[in-house]
Amino acid sequence: MPDAVGGTTGLLAGKRGLIMGVANERSLAWGIAQAAADQGATLAFSYANDAVERRVRAITRDLERAILLPCDVASDEDIDRMAADLARQWPGAPIDFVVHAISYSDKNELLGPYLQTSRRNFAIALDISCYSFTAVAQRLAPLMRPGGNFLTLTYLGAERVIPNYNVMGVAKAALEASVRYLAVDLGARGIRVNAISAGPIKTLASSGVSGMRHLIKWAELNAPMKRNTTIEDVGRAALSLISDLGQGITGEILHVDNGYNVIGMLAVDEALRSVPVLADLGAQAERQKAAADAEVETEVSAEEGDRA
């Protein structure tokens, strides 16, 4: 007997989920969407703007019954409209899970020292990368079926200092704290809230972090499993949280990073291959510092010229 929604078999048969944050086939959200669709879920996708819409429309064209909804998460009105659209298109208590895979910072502040973070970019990065999860939970929790859940994406830079991750590390730390507070607020309604802390993966967003290719190589050499994390790894792990397999899990930050978060020092057996990666990152930092110093010198000379 076919289910009212979604596929007929699989961990998510008969369930409906909203996926926020697919930009292209490399997106972590797309890894989760594919895993969820394979397990029978019916999906809706939100997109930030027209350019993203075109890409999301193209890659979701083979998904049966997929709904696409605009939502810039910096706007409460957009989130309200998205919730109303979902309630209309999926009548009744429409949602079983929501995946929030969204972050933003000015990439000019994802290099060099965190000390240089501007007030403006701090506010924008925290708003889009952290507060939006709470804003979405406010609007969508009332539309959730019992046993529903929210999932967001975080990174080790929340817990430890990662070169150039800067304000995003602060935003992710706040996001992880939000997961715990929301888990308590929504637990009484039978709704769970979790996060996956993924290892570094090349995506549009991560390419904004200076030296990301070095971080990825470093993780591959030094993670206990000696391999990089993939969006498929993230998708499979997400299934354990967004399906009923995760019924006893809330407020959790699940590391999906091939074990990288447990290491305390670089892998001795890969030291000779790791050192050049570190040297490259060091050389890049030197070049950035020299460029920043030159810029300050130019500004000082210009000011002196103005005064002369």
Ligand X SMILES: NC(=O)c1ccc[n+]([C@@H]2O[C@H](COP(=O)([O-])OP(=O)(O)OC[C@H]3O[C@@H](n4cnc5c(N)ncnc54)[C@H](O)[C@@H]3O)[C@@H](O)[C@H]2O)c1
What residues line the site for ligand X (CB under 6 A)?
Answer: 21-23, 27-29, 48, 52, 72-74, 101-104, 128, 153-155, 198, 200-201, 203-206
Residue whose entry in the numeric block shows the structure tokens 């890409």: 55
Least distance from ligand X to the Cβ atom of residue 101, Å: 4
CA neighbor of 72 nearest in space, from 51, 46, 107, 95: 46
Least distance from ligand X to the Cβ atom of residue 14, Å: 27
Catalytic residue among 47, 104, 155, 260: 155
Q: Beta-carbon neighbour count of residue 274 at 10 Å?
A: 18
165 belongs to the catalytic site? yes
Least distance from ligand X to the Cβ atom of residue 19, Å: 10
CA neighbor of 16 nearest in space, from 28, 25, 4, 24: 4
CA distance linking residue 62 with residue 273, whole number of Å: 42
CA distance linking residue 84 with residue 70, whole number of Å: 12
Amino acid residing at 273: R
| Nearest to ligand X of 21, 246 (CB atom) | 21
* Three-class DSSP category at 154: strand
Least distance from ligand X to the Cβ atom of residue 54, Å: 12
| Nearest to ligand X of 48, 237 (CB atom) | 48
| Nearest to ligand X of 72, 270 (CB atom) | 72
Catalytic residue among 104, 114, 131, 165: 165
CA distance linking residue 80 with residue 174, whole number of Å: 23
Least distance from ligand X to the Cβ atom of residue 20, Å: 7
| Nearest to ligand X of 21, 163 (CB atom) | 21
Least distance from ligand X to the Cβ atom of residue 155, Å: 4
| Nearest to ligand X of 32, 183 (CB atom) | 32
Q: Beta-carbon neighbour count of residue 65 at 10 Å?
A: 14
| Nearest to ligand X of 153, 253 (CB atom) | 153
CA distance linking residue 93 with residue 14, whole number of Å: 13
Cβ atoms of 182 and 193 closer than 8 Å: yes
CA distance linking residue 240 with residue 256, whole number of Å: 12
Cα 296–chain centre separation = 34
Cα 265–chain centre separation = 26
Identify the burial level of 188 via C-beta atoms within 10 angstroms of its C-beta, where 0-12 means exposed, 13-18 middle and 19 or more buried.
exposed
Catalytic residues: 155, 165
